[in-house]
Chains A and B, each alone.
Chain A
Amino acid sequence: MARAAVQRRLTWRRGRVTRRVDETPRVRTLVLALEEDWPGHLAGQHVDVRLTAEDGYQAQRSYSIASAPEDVGQLAITVERIGDGEVSPYLVDELTEGDQLEFRGPIGGYFVWDETPGGPLLLVAGGSGICPLMAMIRHRAARGSRVPTRLLYSSRSLEDVIYREEVDLLAARSDGLEVFHTLTRDRPAGWTGYARRIDLEMLTEVGWRPDEGPLGFVCGPTPLVEAVAEALVQLGWSPDRVKTERFGPTGG
């Protein structure tokens, strides 16, 4: 039976930052301690984060939960510093271990995966669009699932790849997870992976055939998401088997 998080009134809660992880030069993961009344989340759900200044000014953003539901008692969000943003520079550079962060969640019931929809999985990420997909990959690993899963992940350069070591380690378990990188700007010497924006040809090579009944999750900047969703439908995928999550321009 489909497992859905218990739904109750959505209230703002506070979590203490227990750990920070440098993922790339511009991306940092924050791990928050959860209280016992946290209802649990589904892979792909997000939280709303709210910052309050001393004069009462508030700013609110949404961040995908990157940790697996099985990672009980804590929750990880991964934040990319947007240069002229007002929230992400604070979360990446200012907030530190011991600080409290106000958030509410888990939120969202559409862009979620809990193993029941079936079919092989195609996960397509652009940049920090990997975050909700990472929750799915970690959930899959924690459950010991062998659902055939392919991750196609577009980054600017190798040093911009978030969770690179962990993804490579999980792929090395040979339990049905395959990982394909494409680097759109800079490539290290001897790079043999893809070296261009995701296109129809790449999706033909990496994606599943429509008759294999695949389910797709696409997350990233709007242009990437719309191009990938369009290409998959062109390849014969049913539109309702392609779930998308776009980044807005207020991601900062």
Chain B
Amino acid sequence: MKADPVIHLTQTAALGLGGISKRFGSFSALRDIELAVHKGEFVCLLGPSGCGKTTLLRIIAGLDSADTGRITMHGKDVTHLPPAKRDYGIVFQSYALFPNLTVTQNIAYGLKGRRQDQRQRVTELLSLIDLAGIEDRYPNQLSGGQQQRVALARALATSPGLLLLDEPLSALDARVREHLRREIRSLQQRLGITTIMVTHDQEEALTMADRIVVMNHGVIEQIGTPEDIYARPQSRFVAEFVGRANWLPGVVEAGHCVRTGDVSLQLPDSAAVKTGDAVQLFIRPEAISIEARWQGGRNAVLAQLISQELLGGFCRLTLSVPAMGNLNLIADVSRPTLAQLRLDQGQRLPLTLSPAALRVFTDEAAA
């Protein structure tokens, strides 16, 4: 076993995780997780199933214990405290509302003190979640979205210092889910409550979080704002898991360029590469700009249209670039742009892969 990890956490961190590791038999569920969450911050743990995000949440909640590492809440070490001694509220995917208790009784479940005060607090919370008037109903008389919000109110009732959400929206249908994303986010901002949410839905993470923690195979791949994660992914995994990506293999050559097939592409100034390196270039589908006429210029190539697919507000084109050895690329264009282009199957289109939109990956690390 390794030595007790030293954690450098500021006193302001609402939640600090230092060197958290967890094994289930020979399977390493979490490896050396370091994370500091600031007061009032909304952090999403994002990753595919089996990445360890739920295990991490359960360790924070005290429902499982870590093999190594320390957990602090507001500077206090809670590593060895039972769940009831940690100050948090939790909402599970199943909501776990007590089916035989009314909405009022559910929300007041953790409240102590006089009945009158409890009632008042419940009324307050119900108006907070915009559900006044359902006090005496039972959970199975509520819609999924209502149940979700009641579970949220119950978790918030005791004014905990930390709110934990375990895939809280995944049991709802798409429309309700989108609505509740905004609701939860605005509620969290109004209350200023530190929140950790586990999700496998990248859209959810991008729209709700202040910061996203992308996890894979029990390790943190990247921590950053939604903008960081989307526009500046630091690993191939992050780039692939969040949004869609095009990959162009090539070799660095003189003049800060990368040769891909017969094309030499100019790199962004920030890219630190050595001539002769084998690299992968990364570009988002919407960052590929399609011109109506060939104008030449930096990083312009000709492509052939293979197919187009309408995805509601935009259209996804599949293109083949002859000069890159018939490499396939996908490009997203808006409907107005599409109308201007007036495309035909097999038509040749000029593209620009602007240097600012390109990112260079050597092996796994982003440059």
Q: A and B from one assembly?
A: no
Q: Which residues of B contact A (CB under 8 A)?
A: none
Spell out A's residues near B (CB within 8 Å): none
